[in-house]
Chain A
Amino acid sequence: MADKTKVAEQYYAPPPDLGKWESLRIFLWNSETGQFLGRTGSSWAKILLFYLIFYAILVGFFAAMLTIFYQTLDAKMPKWQMEGSLIGNNPGLGFRPMPDSATVESTLIYYRANDKGSVLKWAQVVDDYLEQYRKKGSGSGEASGAENRVPCSPTSSNLGEKQVCDVPVDEFHPCTSSNQYNYEEAGPCVFLKLNKIFNWIPNAYNTTDGLPEKMPEDLKQHIKLVSGKPEANTVWVSCEGENPADVENIGPVQYIPRRGFPAYYYPFTNKEGYLSPLVAVLFEKPRTGVLINIECRAWAKNINYDRYERRGSVHFELMVDRS
């Protein structure tokens, strides 16, 4: 047996113990065999080529499948609409200005009325949002379709194939850009908009019949005033304080230019240049230094309300400081 081991030793010597770093270095680059990370260059090249081909096929297949599928889609119109789609037929409300949604989960509009910077910050947010409403003239870039916009009124005749109704945001006095949307006056404007849902047509409360019980009194009065007139075809809007204290603090509220979203803006059919109608809510004299919870609701026969799921309503907080 001893002889055997001797013979074996002549042919085989155990590899010298190189230590951790040395063996790592050899693993990284073995100059003897030309191996890099344990493989030779040609081996790596083969691997690279194989995976290049394999992944090219996979990506190509994926892309091809997507392309084929896109043939079944309409570029202008969602495949599923209204109830057929998960979006449903119950639009929610949105408000502007919003705090930066990328960083915080907050709906608080807080500013100091006599701090120019603070005022400008919020005004800038609204300006940015209203930018698309101000684009006029022939389309270029993002404002394409602006030429389709025509002024509409409740009595105006049907729109053309490509025409959409204009939203004259510069006429929302005092909620105008030049006035910094009245933020400086400590009576800020908050813009409301109804979520766009393809092909959704409001079923407005245009008469006093069947007005829901919970509708605020002043809105009922307003509807009574316009009942029967063409301008009664409107998705009504109301903003109230959520809690009794908020109701006291909120002060008088004005809706500009009118108390809702006129029905002639609907349906939304993704026409080029379409603008979502806006209501600027002017809080004339909110109590300063306190946080006010405000809920705004949209009223129409086909808008259901659910506070928890935020159906047909929007919630935000307002806090104005005047130090």
Chain B
Amino acid sequence: MNSRTSSLSSISDLFRPNNPKGLRSRDLSSTRLSALKKEINTDTHLIPLKDLYTLLGTDPVNGLSSQKAQELLDYYGLNTLTPPTHYTVPKLLLKSLCTGFSILIWLGAILCLSAYLIELSTKPDPSTDNLYLGCVLIAVDLICGIFSFFQNYKSSKIMKTFNSMIPMHTTCLRDGILNRNTEVRDLVKGDIIYVEIGDVIPADIRIIESRGFKVDNSSLTGECIAVPRHNTDGSANILESPNVAFFSSLCVEGWAKGVVLFCGDLTALGRVAGLAARLQPAPSPLSREIRRFMRCMSTCALALGIFIASASMILGYPFMQTSIFVIGIVVANIPEGLQPTITASLTLTAKRMVTRNCLVKNLEAIEALGACTTICSDKTGTLTENKMCVRHIWTWNKTYSILDKEFENFLQNDQALNSLKICGALCSNATVVKSGVIRGDASEKAILNFLFNYCDPVTIRKRYPKIVEIPFNSVNKYQISIHLNEEKKTYLLVMKGAPECILSRCVTIAFNNKSISMTEDIKQAVNTTTENLANTGERILAFADCDLDSNEYPLNYPFDTENPNFPVDELRFLGLIGLKDPPREQVRSAIERVRAAGVRVMMVTGDHPATARAVAIEVGIATTPSCHIVTGTELRNMSPDLLYLTLAKHYEIVFARTSPTQKLQIVEACQKQGGVVAVTGDGVNDAPALRRADIGISMGIAGSQVSKQTADIILMDDNFATIVTGIEEGRKIFDNLKKSVCYILISNVPEILPVLMFILFSIPLPLGVMTILCVDLGTDMWPAVSLSHEQAEQDVMARPPRTSDPLVSNRMIRLVYLHLGLIEFAAGMFAYFIVMAEHGFYPSQLFGIRQKWDNVAVTDVEDSLGQEWTYAERKELERACQATYFVAVVVTQMMNCIICKTRYNSIFHVGMKNNVLNIGLIFELILACMVCYIPGVNTFFKTYPLRLRWWFLALPFAALMFIFDEFRKHCIRNHMFGGWFNKFTFY
């Protein structure tokens, strides 16, 4: 007792407003998070009420004193949900601006600007090249940074959504005075409050007094069923305890008086909210890989840059020259277009998904869905429709399934069924509103809905007006109403309730047109049927009636419901109705497909094990009746290791009666196994799990606001089958992203190598930094993105989810840097040499010419044919050469794009059906023309209006590239050379 209270006080201390332990705000947030992950551990709902009053220092008659309430309020803070400590906007912006390649680009920009400043201070007429380049680099950085900022900055609306679930005012007893307008945020532990129908419970309360009090706990359990709550002994698990009502639950019937046990963040909902808002979802597999790859690339670029810088410093180059080297190396090494391409590809896929009723909130979730290994699905509302339906009807000797085609015939002919229909229509509190909408309890709604198909319950009700009724309560477990038969002027008693309860009150049973007396055999038969149906997850209701003798009960007989003066025994048993929340259509086939794609599907539900098992079997989550079921209670007693072991041992698992925290535990355990976990859910109780999962999937129609807010993907049609589409698209986009990345990386090679040639062999720079940016962020972009429109090359759903297949594999790096990239480089250098040679500089002349060439003081550099070139003329020639090199890269990249369309198939087999890509190629060409020919643009990018013939220089190399790659793919398909190419270059 003591230890519990102390642990309780320590967690409540954590949520005090004035930062009790002097922790830094981030630390406090994470400490709170770990505290929230633990299950609620309390006994305040178990101890006698008297002890509770003493513990809380309250009094059930007068409530707290205002003074004490104020003290508590000052100490523990308001009864609200505390938002988590987040990065502030500037901090997050700064973080986005300094991730990945950004730091390197900043470095380049700083170098450019400082080089410009040096030039500005030492030379009378400094060239503005460095200034421009610096500005362009800064612009690139800012754009990329702001891009990723907006992607990362999903403002924490989660807490807001939670807070909107809380009422403003409540009725509270303090100093013996009942205040109907107490502000909910002023409530403290120990307050005595009153709630009545329509109220939202303002805190976690223990019921002291109640009448017909029913609450809808759907926000915590996900089950949309009104459950009765009253002052009785609690059960160990506070979430299931019948004497506790929770914060944010809606009171749907009756009223209650209760004492506040927990406030604000410490309530059951507060914990869910705190978890959902504080949990950081694990980075998606894609972003993990991109980050890893970027770190790799940046390290390489930086190492090379530092090496070049120190080497040129040692060799005595001036700072200006060194900075030019380093900027070139850094900019050339970084695939600037990578991040925008991936984002654009994912955005396009997300758009396509919207047309298929799948709203993607977090772009990377699409790809994660493709990589997903486990789906933890909620039951109610996700797999099932969250709507009760009549599935089976039993009358003596016969079970009818309403799905049976001949059911209607049976219904016509069987007299017992008719009685059952009348009974079902009468013994019900559900009301039919105009336009056929039915209001009331879920099962009564289901029965009325069912009856509407075969007869008109409204007319039946008119023929039998209701005289009195005894409503359902959890002690009696039945409901009785007495109706007047207007034709015969007799009274009819109808009764509905739990089968065992009704059966014990019946002496006869309806069989066709007569009644036969109840025997043990019949009772046995009823029990068996009940058991069978219950095992398939159906909720069984039994019906009985009794025609009251008109002599004994004449018209206007005063029926007394408090002390029944009419028979409640010796009734006639009519039959059973089995109700069920039916699985959605297509779920079964969808799960089949998902499982065929190697994805494990588990059910995690707050519902009863039997129902859960039945649904699991019905939808194909469990294929054997003996599937492993873990209940919340078992889970509570499991160590993390045992849970881990259970997950490893059983492939088909159903988790039943789980609490929100346990859902989270299950997700985390799956993730610990290395799985990529998708969680589907629609309730508030799913929010922490949705948030933590790699992919949180919520339902668009039935889903709660909170679940939609926390989810990454929203299924607009609530159709589980859409997930299959999602997985398919996710896998396709991953394959296509590989192609895009490969395409982008290849152009990196002809960017890095010329800079190295420039440094090592002292040739005039073959490709300028501006043109590098032009390729990376200009001409390459559209084709790279358009590769995401490629059709899948093979059946992506026929293979297991990728586990060790990275986005950028060694094989891809090998193919890019050692094969295709080099061909592009050769094409570029060829074009460069040709233009030089046509103007008189033969290749042999170029090596070692750089110092003279770039020296503005030298006005007469001699070429191989004796002509002498001034600085301006040389630089113009250099621009022409760089432009030709650029065009060569563009032309080979166009070919490369065609090559990258397929990883495995021959391009002749696939064809050029991707029109986005075809237009992209044309666009690439037009863009290259614009960069070369528009005056002003070409001076900015340091290109040159080229002669037509120079556009064709790269063509032979493009052809070589194509032939090589077709050969390579041919070898891969046929596994030639002992699978050499498969092992080495099949990415």
Interface residues of A (CB under 8 A from B): 1, 46, 50-51, 54-55, 58, 61-62, 65-66, 69-70, 73, 76-80, 85-88, 91-95, 98-99, 101-107, 193, 195-198, 268, 270, 274, 276, 308-311, 314
Contact = CB atoms under 8 A, between A and B. Distances in A.
Contacts of B868: 91-92, 94, 195-197, 276
Contacts of B169: none
Q: Which of A87, A99, A308 has the most CB of B within 10 A?
A: A87
B871 A310 contact: yes
Given A62-B826, A98-B858, A85 B839 contact: yes
Contact of A92 (B649, B822, B860): B860
B865 A78 contact: yes
Nearest to B944: A86
Nearest to B830: A65
B859 A94 contact: yes
B866 A314 contact: no
B860 A94 contact: yes
Contacts of A86: 839, 873, 876-877, 880
Given A73-B838, A198-B865, A1 B872 contact: no
Nearest to A54: B819
Interface stretch (B142-150, B609-617, B849-857): B849-857
24 contacts: A1-B649, A61-B826, A62-B829, A65-B830, A66-B833, A69-B834, A77-B865, A78-B839, A78-B863, A79-B837, A85-B839, A86-B880, A87-B840, A92-B873, A93-B859, A94-B860, A101-B851, A101-B855, A102-B851, A195-B859, A195-B870, A197-B867, A274-B866, A276-B868
Nearest to A100: B851
Q: Which of A62, A73, A95, A103 has the most CB of B within 10 A?
A: A62
B819 A1 contact: no
B860 A106 contact: no
Nearest to B956: A65
B818 interface: yes
Contacts of A58: 822-823, 826, 960
A105 B856 contact: yes
Main SS of the interface on chain A?
A: loop
B847 interface: no
B866 A268 contact: yes
A66 B830 contact: yes
A79 B870 contact: no
B869 interface: yes
B645 interface: yes
Contacts of B833: 66
Contact of A51 (B818, B865, B870): B818
B980 interface: yes
A265 to B, nearest CB: 13
B134 to A, nearest CB: 21
B823 A1 contact: no
A102 B857 CA distance: 11
B838 A79 contact: yes
Category for how many chain B residues contact A: 35 or more
A107 B857 contact: yes
Given A65-B956, A87-B869, A92 B840 contact: no
A85 B865 CA distance: 13
Contact of A311 (B826, B862, B872): B872
A304 to B, nearest CB: 12
Given A58-B823, A80-B838, A87 B873 contact: yes
A194 to B, nearest CB: 9
A87 B873 CA distance: 5
A107 B857 CA distance: 6
Q: Which of B125, B829, B838, B865 has the most CB of A within 10 A?
A: B865
Contacts of A65: 830, 956-957
Nearest to B852: A101
A193 B858 CA distance: 13
A106 to B, nearest CB: 6
B837 A87 contact: no
Nearest to B871: A310
Nearest to A96: B860
Nearest to A312: B870
B406 to A, nearest CB: 50
Contacts of B877: 86-87
A184 B44 CA distance: 109
A298 B960 CA distance: 50
A276 B868 CA distance: 10
A233 to B, nearest CB: 22
A94 B860 CA distance: 6
Interface string B189-201: 0000000000000
B826 A98 contact: no
Contacts of B857: 98-99, 101, 104-107
B860 A193 contact: yes
Contacts of B645: 1
Contacts of B960: 58, 61
A92 B855 contact: no
Q: Which 5 A-B pairs have the closest CB atoms?
A: A94-B860, A92-B870, A195-B868, A78-B840, A79-B838
Contacts of A107: 857
A105 B838 contact: no
A195 B869 contact: yes
Contacts of B873: 86-88, 92
A99 to B, nearest CB: 7
A104 B857 CA distance: 9
A279 to B, nearest CB: 14
A242 to B, nearest CB: 12
Contacts of A94: 859-860, 868
B867 A78 contact: yes
A58 B829 CA distance: 13
A64 to B, nearest CB: 9
A61 B825 CA distance: 13
B319 to A, nearest CB: 13
B960 to A, nearest CB: 6
B862 to A, nearest CB: 8
Contacts of A76: 865
B859 A78 contact: no
A281 to B, nearest CB: 15
A61 B957 CA distance: 9
A291 to B, nearest CB: 14
B870 A310 contact: yes
A195 B855 contact: no
A80 to B, nearest CB: 6
Contact of B830 (A62, A93, A193): A62
A94 B859 CA distance: 6
A225 to B, nearest CB: 30
Given A101-B855, A195-B860, A270-B865, A309 B838 contact: no
A196 B858 contact: no
A167 B34 CA distance: 92
B885 to A, nearest CB: 14
Nearest to A59: B826
A65 B829 CA distance: 11
A65 B957 CA distance: 9
B859 A314 contact: yes
B551 to A, nearest CB: 72
B826 A80 contact: no
A103 B855 CA distance: 9
Interface in B227-243: none
Given A54-B819, A62-B829, A78-B840, 5 more contacts: A46-B980, A51-B818, A55-B822, A105-B855, A196-B862
Contacts of A92: 859-860, 868, 870, 873
